Structure 1
Amino acid sequence: MNKISLQKFRRPRLLIIGCGDVGMRMLPLLTPYFRVFAVTSQPARCAELRARGAQPLVANLDQPATLRRLRGLAHTVLHLAPPAAQGGQDVRTRHLTAILPERAQVVYVSTTGVYGDCGGARFDETRAVAPATARAQRRVDAEQMLRQWARHACGQLSILRVPGIYAADRLPLARLQAGTPALCAAEDVHTNHIHADDLARIVVAALFRARPQRIYHAVDDSAMKMGEYFDAVADAYGLARPPRLSRAELRQVVTPALLSFMSESRQLENRRLRRELGMRLRYPTVQAFLQQARTAA
Structure 2
Amino acid sequence: MHALTDEPRQTDMRLVGLGFGYSARAFMRLARPSSVVGTTRSEDKADALHRSGVRSVLYHGEESLTLSEAVRHATHLLVSAGPDGDGDPFLRVIERDLAHAPDLKWIGYLSTVGVYGDHDGAVVDERASCHPTADRGVWRLEAEAAWTALGRRIAVPTAVFRLAGIYGPGRNQFVALEAGKAKRIVKPGQVFNRIHVEDIGRTLMASVERPASRVYNVADNEPAPPEEVVAYAAALMGVEPPPEVPFDEAELSPMARSFYGEVKRVSNARIRQELGVRLAHPTYREGLNALWESGRWRDSY
TM-score, structure 2 normalization: 0.82
| Amino acid corresponding to residue 218 of structure 2 in structure 1 | A
Gaps of 5+ in 1: 1-7
Q: Displacement of 1:265 after TM fit?
A: 1.0
Match of 1:267 among 251, 265, 268: 265
Gaps of 5+ in 2: 1-8, 296-301
- For residues 220 and 126 of structure 1, the distance between their equivalents in structure 2, rounded to whole angstroms, comes to 18
Q: Which moved more, 1:57-66 or 1:258-267?
A: 57-66
Q: How many residues align?
A: 281
Q: Displacement of 1:97 after TM fit?
A: 3.5
| Amino acid corresponding to residue 132 of structure 2 in structure 1 | P
| Amino acid corresponding to residue 226 of structure 2 in structure 1 | M
- For residues 137 and 97 of structure 1, the distance between their equivalents in structure 2, rounded to whole angstroms, comes to 22
1:51-200 correspondence to structure 2 within 5 Å? 51-54=51-54, 56-60=55-59, 62-65=61-64, 67-84=67-84, 87=85, 89-101=87-99, 104=104, 105-173=106-174, 175-176=176-177, 177-178=180-181, 180-184=183-187, 186=188, 188-200=189-201
Q: Displacement of 1:224 after TM fit?
A: 0.9
Q: Displacement of 1:47 after TM fit?
A: 5.0
Aligned to 2:73, the other structure's residue is in SS state coil
Q: Displacement of 1:37 after TM fit?
A: 2.4
| Amino acid corresponding to residue 159 of structure 1 in structure 2 | V
- For residues 244 and 270 of structure 1, the distance between their equivalents in structure 2, rounded to whole angstroms, comes to 30
1:223-246 alpha-carbon deviations (Å, 9 max, x no partner): 312222222222222343343344
Q: Which moved more, 1:38-47 or 1:155-164?
A: 38-47
Q: Displacement of 1:112 after TM fit?
A: 0.5
Aligned to 1:4: none
Match of 2:256 among 251, 255, 258: 258
Aligned to 1:99, the other structure's residue is in SS state helix
**Are the aligned partners of 1:71 and 1:100 in contact in 2 as well (CA < 8 Å)?**
yes
1:202-221 correspondence to structure 2 within 5 Å? 202-210=203-211, 212-221=212-221
Q: 1:262 to 1:242 in 2, by over 3 A?
A: farther
Q: Displacement of 1:45 after TM fit?
A: 4.2
Aligned to 2:37, the other structure's residue is in SS state strand
- For residues 293 and 107 of structure 1, the distance between their equivalents in structure 2, rounded to whole angstroms, comes to 27
Q: Displacement of 1:286 after TM fit?
A: 0.9
Task: State the structure with more CA Rg.
Answer: 1
Q: Displacement of 1:121 after TM fit?
A: 0.7
**Are the aligned partners of 1:217 and 1:272 in contact in 2 as well (CA < 8 Å)?**
yes
Aligned to 2:25: 24
* Bigger relative contact order, structure 1 or 2 (CA pairs below 8 A, ≥6 apart): 2
- For residues 291 and 71 of structure 1, the distance between their equivalents in structure 2, rounded to whole angstroms, comes to 39
1:120-168 alpha-carbon deviations (Å, 9 max, x no partner): 1112111121111111111111101112212222221001110111113
- Aligned residues with identical type, % of pairs: 26
**Are the aligned partners of 1:159 and 1:216 in contact in 2 as well (CA < 8 Å)?**
yes
Q: 1:136 to 1:94 in 2, by over 3 A?
A: farther
- For residues 52 and 71 of structure 1, the distance between their equivalents in structure 2, rounded to whole angstroms, comes to 20
- For residues 180 and 290 of structure 1, the distance between their equivalents in structure 2, rounded to whole angstroms, comes to 17
